[in-house]
Amino acid sequence: MTEKADRKIVLADGSQYPGQGFGDRSERVCEIVFNTSMAGYQEILSDPSYTCQLVVMTYPLIGNYGMAADDYETAVPTIGGLAVRRYNDRPSNFRCADTLGAVMERYGIPGVQGIDTRKLTRSIRDHGSRKALVTDVDTPLDRALEILESTDVPRDVVRRVSCKAPWTSPAVGKARFHVVAVDCGIKLNIVRSLNARGCDVTVLPYDAGAEQVQALGPDGVFLSNGPGDPEDVPSVLELVRAIRGKIPIFGICLGHQLISLAYGARTYKLKFGHRGGNHPVRDLDTGRIEITSQNHSYAVDAASLAGTGLALTHVNLLDGTVEGVKCERDRVFSVQYHPESAPGPQDSGALFDRFLTMMEEAREHA
């Protein structure tokens, strides 16, 4: 027997997707997006890049392995909401410490299950990411549309998710390098990946200035992933312009876009973004094709790279978008995708090793 609907998702075109609520019962306006990953809902839920976004999971069964204490990407999830075909509230997993629904309730994250996620995903693909309302099923449509029209999705999302004070994470074993990571919404597995390769990591807030960074004497600077439009984070652009050529820089996702903007390139918003664990990317230097994990709404305009000093290094084979750039002169490089993805493809983990090599070369030529 089909459960009675008590919650729904409403889009600005008047379409409604009724289902059953789980997690928190709050009413919320978000940007609606979809993710095609078959696993990793805990990492998706806790990825700061999803701040204020309602994520539709295309894999039909979500929640079946629960939530593990060691797998969070941030301590306090800030995702806008979750929409799934079928939610399992009785997980089976020896690592399970809690249910997905209980965690969502704890952090005020609404969820809706039982909806036609295929139809909803097709709508996003056809019409693009846009505002959506999560509300009670009894909310009149005209009232729901009024709420959507009058409520904006916040733009100060990097400020919301960045750390408020510096913090450190030591290398595993003997430290080889000291990396300053600029936190625009950093995933914890990035810090773990650097620690595992012998890097002490100092994480600074997104608005850290060049003097603060240089005073720490880092071997390299890492620019993190994060939510929103890269043009909303001008402080990081100023930082890159001030330290490029002085300290090696590596950027991932939002960090990649910020490096490109700092060098004079342009960014634009994709129709529905890239979110999933199977995006093929070609490395133009080697010809090698990597299967990558991605989560972003914005991309770098390839034509705008001309004359910036940045060279195109990686291309998405699905739509030809820019996936990586570099400036060998300044020892700067970045990628749009996530080499630290967990769970996810491990094809690109060597990019962290490349960063270490760059820092070693800079040390030798100092």
pLDDT digits (tens, 9 = 90+) for 238-272: 999 999 999 999 999 999 999 999 999 999 999 99
Within its chain, how far is the Cα of 174 from the centroid?
Answer: 30
Q: In angstroms, rounded to a whole number, what is the distance separating the alpha carbons of residues 158 and 143? A: 31
pLDDT category, 30, cuts 50, 70, 90?
very high
* Residue 46: inside a domain: yes
Name the residue range of residue 270's domain.
158-364
The pLDDT value recorded for residue 352 is 98
- Whether the model clears a pTM of 0.85, i.e. scores above it, the answer is yes
Q: Is the pLDDT of residue 334 over 60?
A: yes
Residues 216 and 99 grouped into a single domain = no
Residues 65 and 135 grouped into a single domain = yes
pLDDT category, 365, cuts 50, 70, 90?
confident
What is the tally of structural domains in the chain?
Answer: 2
Q: Which residues contact 107 (CB under 8 A, 6 or more apart)?
A: 24, 76, 77
The pLDDT value recorded for residue 25 is 96
pLDDT category, 350, cuts 50, 70, 90?
very high
* Residue 320: inside a domain: yes
The pLDDT value recorded for residue 354 is 97
Q: Give the HSE-up count for residue 352: Cα atoms under 13 Å, Cβ half-sphere.
A: 22
User: Which candidate in 253, 279, 296, 323 is catalytic?
Assistant: 253
Residues 139 and 184 grouped into a single domain = no
pLDDT digits (tens, 9 = 90+) for 296-313: 999 999 999 999 999 999
pLDDT digits (tens, 9 = 90+) for 268-304: 999 999 999 999 999 999 999 999 999 999 999 999 9
pLDDT category, 203, cuts 50, 70, 90?
very high
- Other Cβ atoms closer than 10 A to 278: 14
Any idea what the CATH number is for the domain that residue 321 is in?
A: 3.40.50.880
Residues 82 and 206 grouped into a single domain = no
* Residue 171: inside a domain: yes
The pLDDT value recorded for residue 2 is 64
pLDDT digits (tens, 9 = 90+) for 56-114: 999 999 999 999 999 999 999 999 999 999 999 999 999 999 999 999 999 999 999 99
Helix ranges restricted to H, 2-99:
41-45
The separation between the first and the last C-alpha atoms of the chain, rounded to the nearest angstrom, is 71
C-alpha dist (Å) from residue 112 to 18, 43, 54, 117, 153: 8, 18, 10, 10, 19
Q: Is the pLDDT of residue 213 over 50?
A: yes
Any idea what the CATH number is for the domain that residue 77 is in?
A: 3.50.30.20
pLDDT category, 212, cuts 50, 70, 90?
very high
Last residue in a domain, options 87, 122, 154: 154
The pLDDT value recorded for residue 252 is 98
Last residue in a domain, options 112, 130, 154: 154
* Residue 255: inside a domain: yes
User: Which candidate in 31, 73, 290, 340 is catalytic?
Assistant: 340
Q: In angstroms, rounded to a whole number, what is the distance separating the alpha carbons of residues 316 and 329? A: 25
Helix ranges restricted to H, 128-223:
141-150, 157-161, 188-196, 210-215
Q: Is the pLDDT of residue 209 over 70?
A: yes
Q: Which residues pair with 294 in a beta bridge?
A: 276
Helices (H) and strands (E) in the chain, counts: 10, 21
Residues 112 and 179 grouped into a single domain = no
Cβ atoms 128, 27 nearer than 8 A: no
Q: Is the pLDDT of residue 117 over 90?
A: yes
Block residue for tokens 């002085």: 246
Task: Establish whether 52 is a catalytic residue.
Answer: no
Residues 272 and 338 grouped into a single domain = yes
pLDDT digits (tens, 9 = 90+) for 148-168: 999 999 999 999 999 999 999
Q: In angstroms, rounded to a whole number, what is the distance separating the alpha carbons of residues 316 and 339? A: 15
Last residue in a domain, options 154, 189, 213: 154
Residues 35 and 114 grouped into a single domain = yes
Q: In angstroms, rounded to a whole number, what is the distance separating the alpha carbons of residues 149 and 271? A: 20
Q: 345: which 2 tokens? A: 């493809």
Cβ atoms 80, 51 nearer than 8 A: yes
Task: Establish whether 3 is a catalytic residue.
Answer: no
* Residue 1: inside a domain: no
Residues 77 and 186 grouped into a single domain = no
Stretch (H or E) spanning 362: helix 350-364
Residues 61 and 131 grouped into a single domain = yes
* Residue 2: inside a domain: no
Q: In angstroms, rounded to a whole number, what is the distance separating the alpha carbons of residues 106 and 25? A: 11
The pLDDT value recorded for residue 1 is 38
Block residue for tokens 């995006």: 279
Residues 20 and 106 grouped into a single domain = yes
Task: Establish whether 338 is a catalytic residue.
Answer: yes
Residues 194 and 146 grouped into a single domain = no
Q: In angstroms, rounded to a whole number, what is the distance separating the alpha carbons of residues 323 and 312? A: 8
